[in-house]
Amino acid sequence: MTGTTRGTAASYETFGRLMTLIFDMSPLSGSTAAGVSVWERLGGGFGVSWTGGPHAAEVVAALTCLAADDEVTTVVSPGDITDIVVDEGAAFMRLRDVVVELRPHDTIGVEAEWAQAVTSLRELRLPS
């Protein structure tokens, strides 16, 4: 019999930690990403998708950096994120032994978002 983390208290706790990181501390938290969706994967674990904003690899890199620094957050710790696989347009990892799938659509990346924001600010003309 194969074990699963589907529907366990520990997997839902991990999901809560993931959502805290994604919505409060990752590049997605201040991005132009829209239509964020989450789902429970059939084989266990969770998936997150969004449109626009940062690439999956950028989000994974940010989450990994957050996990490595306990002075920034204690939501995750060093070693909590393992088995990272990034392919074209998607990323997979284990967060506290729960599989997480990141599957964004039509992303532009963090640098492009910053460039757009700077351009918008430069075009902004305040009344004198």
Q: Say what the pLDDT of residue 46 is.
A: 95
Q: Say what the pLDDT of residue 42 is.
A: 87
Q: Do residues 18 and 46 lie in contact, with contact meaning Cβ atoms separated by under 8 Å? A: yes
Q: Which of 67, 55, 32, 70 is nearest to 103 (CA)?
A: 55
pTM score of the predicted model: 0.78
CATH topology of domain 9-122: Beta Polymerase; domain 2 (3.30.460)
The residue extents of the domains of the chain are: 9-122
Q: Say what the pLDDT of residue 17 is.
A: 92
Rounded to 5°, angle at Cα 85 from 84 and 87 = 150
Give the pLDDT of the chain (128 residues) as one tens digit per residue.
455 556 789 899 999 999 998 888 777 676 777 788 999 998 889 999 988 888 888 889 889 988 888 787 788 888 999 999 999 889 999 999 999 999 988 876 666 665 666 666 667 765 55
Q: Say what the pLDDT of residue 96 is.
A: 93
Q: Say what the pLDDT of residue 99 is.
A: 95
| Distance (Å, whole) CA 83 – CA 72 | 22
Q: Say what the pLDDT of residue 1 is.
A: 40
